[in-house]
Chains A and B, each alone.
Chain A
Amino acid sequence: MDRPKVKGWSYPKSIDQFPMGSTCKSDHLTSINAGWRTVKPVIDQEVCINCLKCFLVCPDGAIDKSSKELEIDYDFCKGCGICAFECPVNAIKMIEEVK
C-alpha cells in the first residue's frame, strides 16, 4: 500500500513555537477519517475481475492498486459506498462497522 500516512504532530507549547500564520508542510496529515464510517467496503478477491473501476471512482483515493490484489486504506475510507455501487460484478460488500 502506497498512501500518505499520518505524521507525528504535537501542539506548540508556547507562543514562540507557533509558525507565522497557519502554514505547514504539504503532505501533512495529523488525523485519520476512519471514525466517520458506519459501513465498510470489503472486496471479495475471488469475485473481483480487476477492472479498477472502484479505484477510479473513490473520492478519497482509499483503494490502492499497487499490489496484486486491491487494498483499501481503512484509515481514510469514509464508507460512502460508491465503490460498491459502481463495481460491475458486485465484488464489494458494505458491511456494518462494529465498535
Chain B
Amino acid sequence: MLKLNAHTITNKEYFYGHKACGGCGESLALRHAMKILGENSFAALPAGCMAAVSFIYPNMAFTTNAMITPFAATASVASGIAAGLKALGIENTQTIGIAGDGGTADIGFQALSGAIDRNADIIFITTDNEAYMNTGIQKSGLTPYGTKTTTSPAGENLPGSITQKKNMFEIVAAHGITYAATASVGYIEDFLKKVQKAKDTKGTSYIQVFVPCPTGWGYPANETVSLAKAVVDSGLWYLAEYENGEFMLNKNPKEFTSAKDYLKKQSRFKHLNDADIEYIEEQRDKKWEIMRRKWNY
C-alpha cells in the first residue's frame, strides 16, 4: 500500500471554506478523511459543529455530495444512501457518516448499532471532541472523568464529569464489525492509513478520531495538533484497530509522558487537584494493563 503522508496525499481539497473556529481539530480530521475518500463520496452529517460550519445556505463547504441528517439517524441515512446508489447502479462510490461524540455515543447510537448489524457498506467516522460543542459544551458519553462542561460543573463537591469515557471503540467491536479503529489528529499519517483501510473494507467500518476543540477546551488555537499528540503519548488515548476479530495496539509507549502536563494546558481541567490526577492516572494504567495483556501489538 502506498505510504500516505503529506507528500503523497492529494493537494486537492474536498472540504474547504468552512466556518469552523480557527484551529478546530474536528475540521482537520474531516479535511483529511475527505482527501482519502475523494470525489465520489457521499457524506451524511447530523447536527453538530461540522454540519453547522459547512452547510450555511448558500455557502457549502463540501465539494462532494453531502447532506444533514436528523440527529439520531446518521448511520441510517448513510445506509440509505449506500442502498440507493446500489439500486441505481452507480459504482465506485463511498458513503460515509460523520458524527460528533454526542452524535455517536449517545444520540446516534442505535442507528449505528443497526447499521453495523446489517453490515451496511458505509464508513462511520466519529469526530470525538469529548462534548456537545455546537450547543455550548455539554457533557456527552465520551466526556472523560474530571472534565468541566456546562452540565458537569467543577466545584467543591464535584471534579467536573464523574463518569468515565464510554468505551465506544470496544462497544462497536463487540458487534463483530469488519473494521474499527481509533485515531488522533496528532498522528495524521496513522489516521490517513485507517481511512484508506476503511475505504477498502466492504461492509461497515468505524473510526473514532480524537479532535481537540480550542473553543470548548480552553487552550490556544495553535496547540490543537500538539495536544492531540500529547493525549496519545501520555496514554490518555490510544491508537488501535479491530480486524478479523482481534484487537491491535498500533502504538505502545514504553513510558508515558506526563498526564498532568496534558491536562493542565486546558481550562476544562484547570480545577483538577493532584489526587484527581492520580485517580485519572490509575484508571489509565488499569486500562493499559488490560490492553497489553489481551491485545496484539
Q: What residues of chain A lie closer than 8 Å to B22, measured between beta carbons?
A: 36-37, 59-60, 78-80
Contact A29 B59 (CB under 8 A): yes
Query: Looking across the interface, which residue of chain A has its beta carbon closest to that of B28?
Result: A59
Contact A80 B16 (CB under 8 A): no
Residues 22-69 (chain A) with a chain B CB within 8 angstroms: 22, 24-33, 36-37, 51-53, 55-61, 64-66
Q: What residues of chain A lie closer than 8 Å to B223, measured between beta carbons?
A: 82, 85
Interface size on B, residues (CB 8 A): 40
Contact A4 B57 (CB under 8 A): no
Query: Looking across the interface, which residue of chain A has its beta carbon closest to that of B63?
Result: A27
Classify chain A: how many residues form its interface, as a range. Answer: 35 or more
Can you give 7 A-B contacts (C-beta < 8 A)? A3-B13, A51-B6, A59-B23, A59-B27, A61-B31, A65-B11, A78-B23
Q: What residues of chain B lie closer than 8 Å to A37, measured between beta carbons?
A: 22
Q: Does chain A have a CB within 8 A of B271?
A: no
C-alpha spacing A37/B220, complex, angstroms:
14
Contact A85 B226 (CB under 8 A): yes
C-alpha spacing A56/B57, complex, angstroms:
28
List residues of chain B with CB under 8 Å of any chain A CB. 5-7, 11-13, 15-25, 27-28, 31, 55, 57-66, 188, 214, 220-226
C-alpha spacing A39/B11, complex, angstroms:
24
Q: Does chain B have a CB within 8 A of A16?
A: no
Chain A 76-87 per-residue mask, 1 if CB under 8 angstroms from chain B, else 0: 101111101110
C-alpha spacing A56/B188, complex, angstroms:
8
Contact A30 B225 (CB under 8 A): no
If A24-B58, A80-B22 touch, does A57 touch B188 (CB 8 Å cutoff)?
yes
Contact B11 A52 (CB under 8 A): no
* A-B contact sample (18 more), CB < 8 A, given A59-B24, A60-B27, A61-B16: A4-B17, A4-B63, A26-B62, A28-B59, A28-B60, A29-B61, A33-B19, A51-B6, A53-B6, A57-B225, A58-B28, A60-B31, A61-B15, A80-B221, A81-B221, A82-B225, A85-B225, A86-B226
C-alpha spacing A27/B60, complex, angstroms:
6
C-alpha spacing A86/B221, complex, angstroms:
12
Residues 1-25 (chain A) with a chain B CB within 8 angstroms: 2-4, 6, 9, 22, 24-25
C-alpha spacing A95/B38, complex, angstroms:
34
- Shortest Cβ gap from B66 to chain A (Å): 7
If A55-B6, A57-B28, A76-B16 touch, does A84 touch B222 (CB 8 Å cutoff)?
yes
- Shortest Cβ gap from A91 to chain B (Å): 15
Q: What residues of chain B lie closer than 8 Å to A22, measured between beta carbons?
A: 55, 57-58
- Shortest Cβ gap from A35 to chain B (Å): 12
C-alpha spacing A4/B159, complex, angstroms:
45
C-alpha spacing A27/B58, complex, angstroms:
10
Q: What residues of chain A lie closer than 8 Å to B6, measured between beta carbons?
A: 51-53, 55-56, 65
C-alpha spacing A9/B60, complex, angstroms:
12
- Shortest Cβ gap from B33 to chain A (Å): 12
Contact A60 B18 (CB under 8 A): yes
Q: What residues of chain A lie closer than 8 Å to B225, measured between beta carbons?
A: 57, 82, 85-86
C-alpha spacing A50/B5, complex, angstroms:
13
Q: What residues of chain B lie closer than 8 Å to A28, measured between beta carbons?
A: 58-60
Across the interface, A26 reaches (CB within 8 A) one of B12, B27, B60, namely B60
